[in-house]
Structure 1
């Protein structure tokens, strides 16, 4: 819910929780003001600012059966519940995180009884599972964690991240007040100083640097995003010039990553830039995507959709697809134009669930370059593209990103995509569809697999 304090991304260990898992957990914990318990099983991955735990599965502890009166503390998970959960963590190679709640809202910490119970039980649980174990304590607006790492260390959890309608970050206590930079004064009047600081600590990837991607890079730089990852394997063509922001005729033949990086640095000399002149499915590009806080997909290939979708689901990184469709018949008749701003939210229905990836096209696009066109029955024809329609789609996408980062959306659960139809001046919201057996966006599939998922295997391959 909007109105929570904005917490910029922190360094150190974090836990990311998909929105639906968070809804189920918070509904259980904060049902009636009493203490309740659960276990979260989580994958693991490296992040831009430190190691990340990725919540994959929630095991609710039933009152009076799994969550019972403690021998020392007030309440505790039953031995049978703990045994079953830790065995599952070992078998699935997942972190075991015992969860309970405390009263209050804005800050939280473990009691002495909590910490003593960790010291009695977690060394043995870590030995049984061979994985990280730990405890989490929540209020509706705060979270603290005590992690016992598989390598033997014990560390605090820096934050819990929920990539929902707002990019919610829960900490033991709110972040310290930010120091305002006069450069961002007009933006900070909307976002607040903490909201502007949150942008400055974000690592955002843009996949595809054509007409849509170049506008994204321009605006993200001027908004003050701290780090941009620019992914595109193509060079500038003369027909790109009317739509590439700040491109010049001398840029024809230059890598699009080079032109985009130059433009970003011109717009914001302080932005940190990583250029990846590769196709998105190549290991260098995928590696950089897995280390991002947000991904903008501005490449309209099925391979790009598939691999960005895989990163979103396996690494719990939110993304936005930004695209424009201008149908033209062979006779030159213009059909119903539409722009699409699709949110790709971890665990909330993916590209595969919504029939947005064609298996045949994906197979063709994954072939080596010299084989790609030979495999098609019809050679590819460039699609129409004009700057104002690209700008319309980008404006919708970046407005959502900006408000989510600054915690300004009115509804955390509003994850619908936006379709504009400019010729009829219509605007529609579309909720994502999810298949229960999806191999990507459900706990039965790859959700939260992190370093044990398909993307990680591809990145690690020679």
Structure 2
């Protein structure tokens, strides 16, 4: 097995391919030593470091039918296959990307024959679609891209991202090691200098800054994450104090975002913060979610689940949903405690597929506060909440993010969810269901649509 190098995020154009589509593509292209071809149809979106292409569908070229020996003596996609793919790209407002492989491991580039083919064909294809078109070439642990832009310009692909159990970033050549800051020396001994640099370049959102969210802010800032997007519209109540990191009585009635700012800057004075003291369903908050490398969902409303689920699948941003529920009987008897960390991977089975977003509750959540309360027949009753239980799943979620971002998970295909039953001392892995016709995580829905 080829070890994929750790490459910190970089600026420029990127292509994100969900793990399921990546396996489909690489199983086709790398199945033997021969030449094979495919086309990716991709959405388009803004990203934290530049424009992002979002793989929505992979069209596999059949050997000898769609991918044959061309006039220059090398294999190429047939004119009919290209025509059909380009027409689909034009009609669905998607980006056309032809893909093939070269031999090699951690470095790759286009041949002169490849580039001559691009110059002959891509200007016409670009004119047909009105969107970028291009070519991608892969090696075992490297990727390069040649993009032809609608304004007549041309750009190289900075990186190809596969957001799975390990967050893989492929480039034409692997990054070279730097030097981690002395303050992070002990961490860099685990992550490596490039791993620590990776965390320092990532932009991470935390939606919900209560008991779980405050632990996330503190931990991510101390890990050296470079930028946080903090989203919460609530203020601190006195009953919140036992669960908010570093809170004291003077913080009552303060905005929760203010505590988060204070804690983040105390832990990491150089951290970049984007602060939104508003609900997650506001246009600005929804937009900021789509411009991150990872999202932590620590708010338990159905609206919050809906908008994060949308960002994961429509914009290919991995996320972790975190929650703790303590069941209490009508007579006050404490029942089972559920603590869960759900790793949400694009195209991998989502919150909607798994019936974790209730359409009725979602409709109620989208109304103003007074109308939400009036719409519910039973008024909300505060549920038990304890900092230690919050910490159990908050740390699980951060560990998943930390190990994925630095490429340290042993099994990059393992994206199971984790359910804890603390009273039984039980840890249960859960494999999420995937609906092939899901309106969000399937090609039949909004997968990879981006901003179009």
Q: Same fold (TM over 0.5)?
A: yes
1:354 matched to 2:354: yes
Give the CA deviation at 1:329: 1.0
**Match of residue 28 from structure 2:** 28
Distance 1:71 1:178 in 2: 46
Indicate conservation of the 8 Å contact 1:206/1:297, yes or no: yes
Matches within 5 A, 1:72-83: 72-83=72-83
Structure 1 residue 69, shift from structure 2 partner? 0.3
Match of 1:229 in 2: 229
Deviations 1:125-158 (A, max 9, x none): 1111111100000012100000001222100000
SS of equivalent to 1:38 = strand
1:154 & 1:382 partners in 2: Cα distance? 56
Over residues 180-227 of structure 1, what are the superposed CA-to-partner deviations in whole Å (9 max), with x where a residue is unaligned? 211111000100000000000000000000000000000000000000
Contact 1:159 1:170 in 2 (8 A): yes
Instruction: Count matched residues.
Output: 452
CA distance in 1, matches of 2:348, 2:356: 14
Q: Secondary structure at the match of 2:205?
A: strand
Cα offset for 1:335?
Answer: 0.8
Separation in structure 2 between the aligned mates of residue 99 and residue 2 of structure 1, nearest angstrom: 20
- Once residues 422 and 434 of structure 1 are traced to their aligned partners in structure 2, the CA distance between those partners, rounded to angstroms, is 28
1:39-75 per-position Cα deviation (integer Å, ceiling 9, x unaligned): 0000000001000000001000000000000111411
Q: Is the 8 A contact 2:233 2:256 kept in 1?
A: yes
1:148-297 pair list within 5 angstroms: 148-297=148-297
Consecutive unaligned residues of structure 1, counting only runs of 5 or more, are 453-462
- TM-score of the two chains, using structure 2 as the length reference: 0.99
Q: Distance in 1 between matches of 2:3 and 2:127?
A: 42
Aligned to 1:315: 315
Would you say the 8 A contact 2:2–2:141 is kept in 1? no
1:208-248 deviations in Å (ceiling 9; x for gaps): 00000000000000000000000000001110000000111
Structure 2 equivalent of residue 10 of structure 1: 10
Asked if the contact 1:2/1:412 (under 8 Å) is kept, the reply is no
TM-score (norm 1): 0.97
Note if contact 1:2-1:408 (Cα within 8 Å) is conserved in structure 2.
no
Residues 418-433 of structure 1 aligned to structure 2 (within 5 Å): 418-433=418-433
Deviations 1:281-322 (A, max 9, x none): 101111111110000000011110011101111100000001
- The offset of 1:370, in angstroms, is 2.1
Q: Is the 8 Å Cα contact of residues 319 and 345 (structure 2) preserved in structure 1?
A: yes
**SS of the residue aligned with 1:339?**
strand
The answer to whether the Cα contact below 8 Å between 2:3 and 2:141 also exists between their aligned partners in 1 is no
- Distance in 1 separating the partners of 2:225 and 2:57: 32
Structure 2 residue 369 is the aligned partner of structure 1 residue 369: yes
Structure 2: gaps of 5 or more residues = none
State the distance in 2 between where 1:254 and 1:321 align.
26
